[in-house]
Every structure is written in C-alpha cells, then in structure tokens.
Amino acid sequence: MIIPETLVKTERQVMLILLTGAAGFLGSHLCDRLLAEGHKVIGLDNFVTGNPENLKHLEGNPNFRLMVQDVSAFIQVDEPLDYILHFASPASPNPTSPLGYPNLPIQTLKAGALGTYNSLGLAKAHKARFLLASTSEVYGDPTVHPQSEDYWGNCDPIGPRSVYDEAKRFAEALTMAYHNVHGVRTHIVRIFNTFGPRMRLDDGRVVPNFIQQALRGEPLTIYGTGEQTRSFCYVSDLIEGIYRLMMSDEHLPVNIGNPIETSIKDFALIINELCQNPAGIITQYADTLGDDPQRRQPDITRARTILGWEPQVAMRDGLNITIDYTRQKLGLPARQA
C-alpha cells in the first residue's frame, strides 16, 4: 500500500517513539512496523498480559530498547521523544482466564486512566505526538449498526465489562482534553476484533480458543446462541491502518477493522473446516461474562476517506496463517500440503 502524500510526516524522518504495551499481541507487531520504517522504539511493558517471547526477536536490535515498567507509574524518558503510542491494557473479556480483564479490574482501569494520563503528560512535556489505542468496546452493545465514529454507544458503566469499556472511554475523553487544552497532536484508533500470530493462547479470546479446540479435535464451545456477530481483521491490515493514522493529521477517532460481519457460529464452522475438525460445535446458552455485544461491525468510511485504508487480507487467509502459528506453539506437526 502507498501512503498518500498528505499523510507523510514533515518532521524528522527518523523518530524516537515510546510504545506502551510493547510485548502485547498488537504492540509487538507495531514495534516491528515502526522499526521497519526506520524509526527507533522504546518499548514499555510490565508483562502482566504482555508476552516477553513477542519481543525476543528484537534482542540486539540497536534501534529497540525495552523498559520494564507499569504504565500507571510515572514514566521518565530523558531523550527527546517524537511520538508516544499508548497500547498498554488487558484486553480479554474472558473471566475464566487469569489474563482476562474481569480478573484484572484495577489494573485495567489504571492502564486506561493513569496510564493515559502519564503518557499524555510525557507527550506534552516532550512536545511529542500521541496515539491512543481505543476499542470498539466503547460502543457497548450497539443500538446502531454498523457503528460509525459519531455513535455515542450503549454501555453499562458498572456492568461486567465496564472496567474495560469505561477505561477506554475515559482515555478518549482525556486524550481530547489534552488536544483541546494543551494543543497536543493526538490520534485515537478504535480497534475492532483483530487476530493473527502472537495472540496469547491462554487469554481466553475466541480465535485462540476455537483454533486450539479444533486442533485437539474437540467440538468448539459457543457461548450464547452463536448468532452474535463480530468483524475479524487480520493483524497486518490493522497495523497498516494504525500507521497511516499516526502519520496523518486526523485527531478525531477512527475505526480500524474489517467491515465483513460474521456470526460466531459461522466463524466456528470456518475454523473447523480449515482445521479439518469433524467434531462440530457445542452451544452453551450461558454468557459467561454477561453484556455480550450482539452485533459488531465497523463503519470504515472515515478510514477509507481520510487514510485511504481498507483491509486487504481475506479472513480465511489470515486464519490459515494463525492456525499454522498455533500448531507451532503447541508443538504439533505442520499441516500437509
């Protein structure tokens, strides 16, 4: 993809970038992209949910440095920073995983509140640009479909998902306040369901759960009716959209995700097909967490118009790559051609 000339940054071509949540699924892929673009990266992570293995390949890279720190504590960086990207937060809604935000409620709220405050303060002090990783969860269980950036959402502020939803909603409000009051050049990306290599296999999210069950020859477990929908975006497409946004002048929130809507039941059937798993599916009608959004589909008009971006990787192609990665992590033999 070619980035339009209007999106090319006019300051120093080589930037020093602080990326919080660098050892996470998305953070580690973003590290790779930033380094590939020739920038220098300071990755910050405390490994509560981030995985050190995601950054192992960067050991010895002179343009990468790791800071092991909680983002909710004061961040000290002496070198002049050009950009700060705030990606640190638990993100899995699964209450059966110790890595899910229902089991890390205080850490999740602190990452969204204190972490955003500290990151924005650092951006202000360094006169650096700032990008917030927000989420489609700010829309809650939407009453508008598909969801565009001007939809205010339908969220329960004290419900079972509130620690994540409200942390991100507060983070967006604080980001806009720093933009309006202090003139910090800010960006907000609302990330929809993303998948690919480096997802933690033990955090209880739907893609690694389904793939592992399928590879074990087990029926895939669906919570609720299976008619609830998600829109799955492959990680390389998401990173491309984020990079285009960070190089743009757009300060309003931008949805980045795949607009193709798929029911969870159909998604399970696709994974069984790709894994050649004949065990089928099991439907459990209890929603283990509650407040499960029934429909999720991004309106990406703003991303198409402003960034010239839309996803390029077909879901099945991305799933095949992710299945091969999962096989490798589980020590299973590679698929026969």
Residues paired with residue 66 on neighbouring β-strands, in sequence order = 43
* Distance (Å, whole) CA 239 – CA 234: 9
DSSP 286-318: --SSS---S---B--HHIIIII-----S-HHHH
Strand, coil or helix: 280? coil
Helix (H, G, I), strand (E, B) or coil at 136: helix
Catalytic residue among 83, 101, 139, 164: 164
The residues, any chain, with a CB within 8 Å of residue 110's CB and separated by 6 or more, are: 72
Q: Are residues 189 and 304 in contact, defined by beta-carbon separation less than 8 angstroms? A: no
Distance from C-alpha of 113 to C-alpha of 171, rounded to nearest angstrom: 6
Task: Locate 247 and state its tokens.
Answer: 């190089």
Place of tokens 């798993």: 277
| Interatomic CA distance for residues 216 and 329, integer angstroms | 13
164 is catalytic: yes
Smallest CA-to-CA distance from 40 within 88, 73, 68, 79 is with 79
Active-site amino acid positions: 164
